[in-house]
Amino acid sequence: MRCSGLALLVMLHPSLSAQTAVVSPSGEWRAWVFGRVGAGRGGPFANTSGVLTSLAGGVAGSYGSMLAMVRATDTEVWSFNDSGSNGVQDYGLLAGLRSRGDRLFVAGAVGIAQATPVGGTSGVGTLTPDRRLAPAFDVSAHADYVAAGIALTISGVLGPNAGTRYLAVSLEADLGWFGF
């Protein structure tokens, strides 16, 4: 009885491995550049009703379900006056996971960012940057087709103080390789 069960498994093994090789696209590379525009909250306005404009850009790539991303974000009050703006700028390096799929997928990443409050001055009018390394995150839902697409993104930095912390919801345009 044991021998016949083992023989059956051995006969099925080649056909099972052939099926998984055809179905599994887990080893494929994907890469894209992105630009984002959205609304944010945080920075010097963490305890008020102020809304920030968030602009971001970066590069992302994935191999199977692994994801890596480099992004630069400027989240500030958008105005046409001459006075200085208030907000947060950050440069981040993130890693995470993405779901399967070429046209529709979800991606999530965490990492570290150098966050800088914007608009702070000392008593004599010189900029006093208070750069901090802080945890960063990025979660997005993508709808892409071969080389272009869009995404809805929630991103931010969890800095140690209000001047280096924000949350933004953005619409993203993607350009790159997403498969067939």
Going by the DSSP 8-state scheme, the letter that residue 47 receives in this structure is T
What does the pLDDT look like over 73-118, one tens digit per residue? 998 877 666 555 678 899 999 999 999 888 899 999 999 999 988 7
| pLDDT higher than 50, residue 37 | yes
Task: Output the pLDDT for position 79.
Answer: 66
State the fold for domain 25-177. Porin (2.40.160)
Q: What percent of the chain has pLDDT over 70?
A: 70
Give per-residue pLDDT as tens, 2-12. Answer: 444 444 444 44
**For residue 23, is pLDDT > 50?**
no
Which string of DSSP letters, residue by residue, matches 68-120? EEEEEEEEE---SSSSPP-EEEEEEEEEEEE-S-SSEEEEEEEEEEEEEEES-
Structural domain boundaries in the chain:
25-177
